[in-house]
């Protein structure tokens, strides 16, 4: 039990140290990412279904990938397939360890024939990305201004909360 808590705290500290340099980039606002991280930790702590947890993991991966790409743009780092490699790197470095530690790939943890965590990651990634794009589209339509304060936070996080509720009720047994 103590070793598990240490591992969890060490992992969170490692994430913070590795990604601290990109926190100044604003592809997705830091409040969104903190909300996603907090939601992920809370859902896992409360024992919420893996599909819902996966939604938040997927959103976090999109935000971190976008931040990394913006950071690389600011540093004038450019190479072929940069976007693909950044996204693929984050997803592979997340999904492969989850598989090897037994959190993914178990037949009893599937929904619609897909691993629950993987399904959540796919839906969370997709909806979080497009919620961010929707925010940008709304802002563009309104002459570069948001319609409501904190719109940049509200739209992506609200999409995750709605999806979380939907998958929570779909996966109740």
In this prediction, residues 76-83 reach a mean pLDDT of: 91
Q: Which two tokens stand for residue 154?
A: 């509200």
Average pLDDT over residues 80-103: 87
Average pLDDT over residues 166-172: 82
Would you state the pLDDT for residue 65?
A: 92
Residue 78: CB partners within 8 Å, gap ≥ 6? 72
Residue ranges per structural domain of the chain: 30-170
For the segment 113-160, what is each residue's pLDDT rounded down to a tens digit? 888 889 899 999 999 999 988 888 888 998 888 888 888 888 888 988
Signed CA dihedral, 103, 108, 109, 112: sign only? positive
> What is the pLDDT at residue 52?
86
> 74 versus 14: which is more confidently predicted?
74
Within 8 A by CB and 6+ apart from 97, the residues are none
Instruction: Give the tokens for residue 18.
Output: 């590795």
Q: Tell me the pLDDT tens digit for each residue of 37-67.
A: 566 567 667 777 888 888 888 998 999 899 8
What is the rounded CA–CA span in Å between residue 35 and residue 110?
A: 26
pTM: 0.72
The pLDDT mean for the chain works out to 78
Give pLDDT, residue 108: 74
CB atoms within 10 A of CB 91: 18
Which two structure tokens, joined as six digits, stand for 134?
């929707």
pLDDT at 7: 53
Give CA angle at 138 (134, 141), nearest 5°: 140
């Amino acid at each position: 039990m103590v070793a598990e808590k240490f591992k969890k705290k060490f992992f969170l500290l490692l994430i913070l140290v590795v990604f601290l340099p990109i926190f100044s980039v604003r592809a997705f606002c830091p409040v969104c990412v903190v909300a996603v991280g907090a939601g992920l930790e809370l859902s896992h702590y409360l024992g919420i279904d893996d599909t819902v947890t996966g939604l938040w993991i997927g959103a976090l991966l999109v935000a971190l990938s976008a931040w990394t790409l913006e950071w690389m743009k600011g540093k004038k780092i450019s190479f072929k397939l940069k976007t693909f490699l950044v996204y693929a790197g984050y997803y592979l470095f997340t999904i492969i360890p989850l598989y090897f530690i037994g959190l993914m790939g178990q037949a009893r943890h599937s929904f619609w024939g897909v691993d629950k965590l993987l399904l959540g990651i796919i839906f969370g990634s997709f909806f979080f990305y497009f919620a961010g794009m929707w925010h940008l589209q709304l802002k563009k339509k309104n002459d570069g201004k948001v319609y409501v304060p904190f719109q940049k936070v509200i739209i992506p996080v609200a999409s995750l909360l709605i999806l979380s509720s939907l998958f929570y009720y779909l996966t109740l047994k």
